[in-house]
Structure 1
């Protein structure tokens, strides 16, 4: 049996029959699982038939499954963030701009991948990205950097922040 979940965790593919499981719903009825038995069985011949004009039916599931398999083949080397893939094994680089350096930004290289099927061919589009992230720092330190303070509040000064005057 081949059981496979997609990167966005919305689809599950299997090469064998899956019976409908019993699901216990929470108080808000937030859990749901819908199994479509033998829906849209496909093969790579479906893609070839579409490209060669032997069928007009677009093989959506075939293209999506192949794209998912390509992403999953990189699973142990990437981190997926909103359909953008970032490499785990590369060191992030600090941003050189003074403003960004002051606030602790780092950059990571990544890419967006899309598999497209036209009437002529199957294409894999890869768009490379250089994205800026905040560094992994404690929340209070982050807040102080954002409001313009360059050091953490000492315990004596922290005492003064605890009082709020009400009008």
Structure 2
């Protein structure tokens, strides 16, 4: 039995869910998200909550049960609160600024890196020192993908710790050469 799958996903005030077959569409104050479940689970709406039940007792049905419930919960969280990833920039001369809808990154290259976020994702640089990047949106996969693409330009290196890292990420530091 799936401990996660057993619990129904409550729908807060202002959030509506529409189930048609295997797909669910959730509307809330921040927007609309949808998810298409596999044929191994059944989606039902009851008493202000969405329940997910497995069809059968196969291993795949039990796997999809908990995963589908988590995906529905992410839809509800996305349209009510949204998702956020914070990136820290470490290094002399490394900085990030927003110019219009384009993120300009100075990362030690001979040129600035320009990154234009996809629709549905908002990027801000709230710090006065320009060493923090905040990626926000309603889709957790899209927010994580944008944060990973920004981090990819200059990932943290283990000797001096320079680069772009996730907030709270631990970088194992190495000792340099000895004479």
Using the size of structure 2 for normalisation, the TM-score is 0.26
Choose 1 or 2 for highest CA Rg.
1
Name the structure where strand makes up a greater proportion of residues.
2
Using the size of structure 1 for normalisation, the TM-score is 0.27
Taking CA–CA contacts closer than 8 Å with sequence separation of 6 or more, which of the two structures ends up with the larger relative contact order?
2
